[in-house]
Structure 1
Amino acid sequence: MCGSGVLLLVLVGGNALLGTVAYPHGAVTEACSAMVPKHGGSTSGTNSAPYKVISNSSIYSDGDEITVTLQADSTAFRGFLLQAREVGGSKPVGTFTVTGGEAQLLTCDGLAGSAVSHTSKQDKTTITATWKAPTDGNPKSIVFSCGVSGAASRVNPGQARAKPT
């Protein structure tokens, strides 16, 4: 394990983004840059997102794996898009793996497995994915960004931030 580490802080966002096209099966790379699942009829979200982004570790080094969980508070969600990015950056960092049938991997910015999305419009309360850090010898501050749309077609952004310790 390298000496450099990253501290993860969980933040759930306030302002929502608008979606314009419905993609009930989630595999849409157009959503990668804006981090919005893109469901039709979406309206501005509430000031607090009805879900949490949780990780099982507060630090990481090259090649480490972190389990990232998207968990509903009281309202189920339908569409979601999860991605790790360098803080202040717009390109994905690291790759994910998923198990089960409710989540699938996307290729964003040419990096296979760099995002996780839904496979159906069915209600969900928990999604878990495993993120693998790059092995380039230079861990950076990252953000697990997540956009979610719920049963009421509201899109609420959330983030789990990571910064070096």
Structure 2
Amino acid sequence: MFSFVAALSICTICVVNGYPQGPPTSACSDMYPTGHGANAQTGTPYFQITVDQSTYSADGTVTVNLIATSNYYEGVFIQARRATSNCSDGTNDTPVGTFTIPSGDTFLQLMTCSGVSGSAVSQKTKVHITNKSITWTAPNPAIGQIYFRGTFVKNEKTFWTDISSPIVKPTGDSTTSLSACPVRTTMADNGSGRLYKPVSLVILLSTIVTVLSRGV
């Protein structure tokens, strides 16, 4: 009985403290850190994603830089997405291509999203970072214009979800640049018609712990 109560208490702490070891795979779609229990910041971010080239080829690579222009970040979540002229057509909802991270890096880790190993990058520990570089490898055949989308976390309640790189085009594409789509910035509808409220979950777990500890 005591171990079960202790496990529930630990689970409650996890909900409050977010995910210092990296986001769960359930966040792969909208890349929103729901476990933090807060809305994203809407002011000018002090983070940016830059790339070393404006075009890519099939199986080619692009260096992606994750920069804190001031201050630092202690959490990050990065994917490549298709740029589009129609954000409602679903073509930009999943990551494309794969990443590699520098050998021996102790902050970053690869993630499996949409069943593809290495299709996303996140942190695996919580430290203060000002600049990291990762490498993206394009799929073959090329999949049109892309951009890199990122969520940057300064601390549990201070994070931005609307960071994106310039558009990167396939080699030879001279058409007008497409767009990055709007991203989720609030604790929005989770599909059940209710707002996600981690505090309510904490209260529920605390109640269970209290009941169990009384031997009921």
Compared CA separation, residues 159 and 153, structure 1 to 2 (3 A): same
Whose strand proportion is higher, 1 or 2?
A: 1
Cα distance in 1 between the residues matched to 2:35 and 2:73 = 12
Paired residue type of 1:80: V
AA of the residue aligned to 1:92: P
Query: What amino acid is aligned across from residue 123 of structure 1 in structure 2?
Result: H
Task: Give CA deviations for 1:16-70 in whole Å, capped at 9, x if unaligned.
Answer: xxx9871111152122111234452434303211111011111101011001011
1:70 aligns with 2:76: no
Identity of aligned residues (%): 33
Structure 1: unaligned runs, 5 residues or longer:
1-18
Partner of 1:146: 150
The 8 Å contact of residues 49 and 65 in structure 2, kept in 1 or not, is answered as yes
Runs of 4+ in structure 1 off by over 6 angstroms are none
> Any stretches of 5+ residues in structure 2 without a counterpart?
1-14, 85-91, 175-216
TM-score normalised by L of structure 1: 0.80
How far did 1:152 drift?
A: 6.2
Provide, for residues 79-135 of structure 1, a one-character-per-residue CA deviation record: whole Å limited to 9, x for no partner.
Answer: 110000112411111000002111000000111100000011211111211000001
The correspondence for 2:47, drawn from 35, 43, 51, is 51
- From the CA coordinates, give the structure whose radius of gyration is larger: 2
Aligned to 2:107: 102
Aligned to 2:168: 162
**Which of the pair is proportionally richer in helix?**
2
SS in 1 for 2:121: strand
How many pairs were matched up? 146
- TM-score, normalising length from structure 2? 0.62
Residues of 2 paired with 1:139 and 1:72: CA distance? 29
Question: Deviation of residue 149 (structure 1)?
Answer: 1.0
> 95, 113, 130: which is aligned to 1:92?
95
Aligned partners of 1:71 and 1:30: how far apart in 2? 25
Q: Within 5 Å, give how 1:6-17 maps onto structure 2.
A: none
Pairwise CA RMSD of aligned residues? 2.0
Query: Is the counterpart of residue 79 in structure 1 residue 75 in structure 2?
Result: yes
